[in-house]
């Protein structure tokens, strides 16, 4: 599982806010956005599986939308 970079993690956080991933994921995304760089790294390491899974969802959603609107 590849670790996300900062821009990917921010995209995941914004996707979480626009989708229904539950209150924990929503709070985690807010925490990531507000955290400093050291704490962002800690969050990505501690919740790498969650960030990666939602990133896959986000990429699939964007690919689907690009085909629908094309």
Please indicate, yes or no, if residue 28 is contained in any of the structural domains: yes
Reading the block at residue 53, the tokens are: 């899974």
Residues 6 or more apart whose Cβ sits within 8 Å of residue 1: 48, 49, 52
Residue 3: per-residue pLDDT: 86
Task: Give the number of domains in the chain.
Answer: 1
Domain of 29?
A: 6-69
Residue 39: per-residue pLDDT: 98
Residue 70: per-residue pLDDT: 63
Q: Helix (H, G, I), strand (E, B), or coil: what is residue 1?
A: coil
Stretches where the chain sits below pLDDT 50 are: none
Please indicate, yes or no, if residue 35 is contained in any of the structural domains: yes
Residues 6 or more apart whose Cβ sits within 8 Å of residue 9: 32, 40, 44, 51
- Global confidence as pTM: 0.87
């Amino acid at each position: 599982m590849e670790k996300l970079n900062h821009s990917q993690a921010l995209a995941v956080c914004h996707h979480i806010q626009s989708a229904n991933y539950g209150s924990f994921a929503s709070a985690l995304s807010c925490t990531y956005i507000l955290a400093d760089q050291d704490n962002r790294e800690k969050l990505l390491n501690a919740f790498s599986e969650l960030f990666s899974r939602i990133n896959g969802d986000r990429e699939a959603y964007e690919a689907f939308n690009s085909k629908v609107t094309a």
